Amino acid sequence: MKKRPQFLRVAGKGRKVATPGMVVQILPDDTATATRVGFTVTKKVGNSVIRNRTRRRLREALRLVAREDGLPTGDFVLIGRDKTRGRDFSLLKDDLRQALRKGLDVNFRESPRGPSGKGRDRAK
């Protein structure tokens, strides 16, 4: 995924799972023919060299996990955190596996804030 509206669609309609090494937003789609993945790292993580290194680590972890376990169809956004850069690579892959397992589980309970993160609807 490359375009901002695609990322916003996953953030708005998908599930969000946070792990120590990353945040994964998941929007499964059984009717899709392909798996689309986007990577993002904010400027809070560091300069462009650090952000690109973080993004490369996420990309490689996803490549290896997809090769070993496979990926379902749908849209995925991997968000790099400050800890992504220094986290042991095997732990980073485990974080990704855990996030995918949780996010694709139909019984996964989201936080009370809901998928949009905007808080509960309040009665007026």
Q: From CA 92, how far away is CA 89, in angstroms rounded?
A: 5
Evaluate whether residue 39 is within a structural domain.
yes
Evaluate whether residue 98 is within a structural domain.
yes
Residue 31 has pLDDT above 60, yes or no: yes
First-last CA distance in the chain: 39
Say if pTM beats, i.e. exceeds, 0.95: no
Q: From CA 66, how far away is CA 71, in angstroms rounded?
A: 5
64: domain CATH number is 3.30.230.10
Q: What is the pLDDT of residue 86?
A: 93
Instruction: Return the higher-pLDDT residue of 32 and 8.
Output: 8
3-state secondary structure of 91: helix
- Average per-residue pLDDT in the chain? 88
Residue 114 has pLDDT above 50, yes or no: yes
Question: What is the strand order of the sheet 15-18 is part of?
Answer: 15-18, 22-28, 74-80, 35-41
**Number of C-beta neighbours around residue 38 at 10 A:** 17
Evaluate whether residue 120 is within a structural domain.
no
Evaluate whether residue 15 is within a structural domain.
yes
Range of the domain at 33: 4-104
pLDDT digits (tens, 9 = 90+) for 65-113: 999 998 888 999 999 999 999 999 999 999 999 999 998 887 666 555 5
Evaluate whether residue 109 is within a structural domain.
no
3-state secondary structure of 37: strand
Evaluate whether residue 97 is within a structural domain.
yes
Instruction: Return the higher-pLDDT residue of 118 and 80.
Output: 80
Residue 124 has pLDDT above 50, yes or no: no
3-state secondary structure of 36: strand
Is the separation of the CB atoms in 95 and 75 below 8 Å?
no
Instruction: Return the higher-pLDDT residue of 55 and 119.
Output: 55
